[in-house]
Amino acid sequence: MRASDAERDRIADMLREALAEGRLTADEHAERVEGVLNAKTVGELEVFIRDLPAAHRQHAGPAYTPAPNRPTDAIPHEPDDNVVAVFSAAVRKGRRRAGRRIHAYAIFGSVEIDLSEAIFEYRQVVIKAFAVFGTVEIRVPENVSLRSAGGGVLGNFEVDSVDSTDADAPVVFVDGWAVLGNVEARPKRGKLVADILDRVQHKLDKSLRKHFDH
């Protein structure tokens, strides 16, 4: 069966939801959207979502279900990511999924964790930062809530506490110790959680308009 423009839109919406949930990387999303725009039949469209939950929901309910609110799962004891710098430097930045727990260790080194372009799948993110004769620098989008429970021992533990005006915004908790070192966390001005998804949607809309014009 030949695919209609409405069916292409429906599949594109599912792919955008999967990107927002962290199920697809930005490259995977772009590749699949391009395939959707070039698909000729309904069968070809289904290939791009067959490994996504949305493909199974469409048979049991509405064709498209908006992404739910961020889950509030309990924070695990084990970290999703360990960032370690011993007499070295370690960096985590760019468009990536923010886990529920991140541990950062800077021992005579420096760690940079930049979540300003991250995709927040969960409502709460905990960062345990330990700086011993080292530095841990944390940046978050300016429209999330940022809170602290850490301290310093002959060191500096500085977190710019912020409460977002959006009740559904993610909350980033920064905990740990700075021992003769420095831990710093603050919002990155001009970076918003919504920015990434807005740019992706704009790019998708532009691609769709170009496709329909042809």
Distances (CA, A) of 154 to 25, 106, 138, 183, 193: 41, 15, 20, 12, 34
- Check: CB of residue 98 under 8 Å from CB of residue 105: no
d(CA 125, CA 122): 7
Query: What was the pLDDT predicted at 130?
Result: 95
* pLDDT exceeds 50 at position 62: no
pTM over 0.75: no
Q: Which of 17-21, 33-37, 140-144, 150-154 has the lowest mean pLDDT?
A: 17-21
* pLDDT exceeds 50 at position 37: yes
- What average pLDDT score do residues 71-95 get? 83
Beta strand 81-86 with 89-92 is unpaired
* 170 DSSP β-pair partners: none
Query: What was the pLDDT predicted at 64?
Result: 30
Residue in this structure with the two tokens 């889950």, named with its chain if needed:
71
For residue 156, which amino acid is it?
Answer: N
Query: What was the pLDDT predicted at 209?
Result: 58
| pLDDT tens for each residue of 178-187 | 999 999 999 9
* pLDDT exceeds 60 at position 90: yes
HEC per residue, 20-80: HCCCCCHHHHHHHHHHHHHCCEHHHHHCCCCCCHHHHHHHHCCCCCCCCCCCCCCCCCCCC
Between 26-38 and 193-213, two packed helices, what is the crossing angle to 10 degrees? 20
| pLDDT tens for each residue of 111-127 | 999 998 888 888 889 99
d(CA 42, CA 63): 14
* 125 DSSP β-pair partners: 172
